[in-house]
Amino acid sequence: MAAAGDGPWLDGAAGRLVRPYQVSNGRTRPSTALDLLSQVMATGVTPLGYLGPEHAQALELCRDPVSVAEVAAHLKLPAAVTKVLLSDLVDCGALSMKPPTFHHNPTDRSLLEAVLDGLRRQL
């Protein structure tokens, strides 16, 4: 007979059985400033100590540069929780982080027009 804690981490009807605040140990703020568009990438450094399965999954996703938003989507976790996990990995040297690069003004009219033109060409 299986112990009470031996069940699956996900349930088809209920979803994730481990609540997000448990994944981040109740923390709501990352120690490193991360934007949803920040790029993170594994450094090859092995984290010391136990971090948890979500940390390992996040580290695996970061073999190539990936945005914080993409990691959150793959982990199926809220962005705030994902930022905490990723900041743990940055703090221990397992991830490097590059802030999003915008031209001096992310709402620059010429940049927005270029994006709009690109979208129109796709349609």
Give the total number of structural domains in the chain.
1
Residue 119 in domain? no
Residue 8 in domain? no
3 state DSSP class of 67? strand
Question: Cα separation of 29 and 26, whole Å?
Answer: 9
Instruction: Show the domain range for 79.
Output: 22-102
12: confidence class by pLDDT, cuts 50, 70, 90: low
65: confidence class by pLDDT, cuts 50, 70, 90: very high
Residue 60: exposed, middle, or buried by beta-carbon count in 10 A (0-12, 13-18, 19+)? exposed
User: With 90 as the cut, is the pLDDT of residue 61 above it?
Assistant: yes
Question: Cα separation of 52 and 33, whole Å?
Answer: 21
CATH number of 26's domain: 1.10.10
pTM metric for this prediction = 0.64
Residue 17, pLDDT score: 47
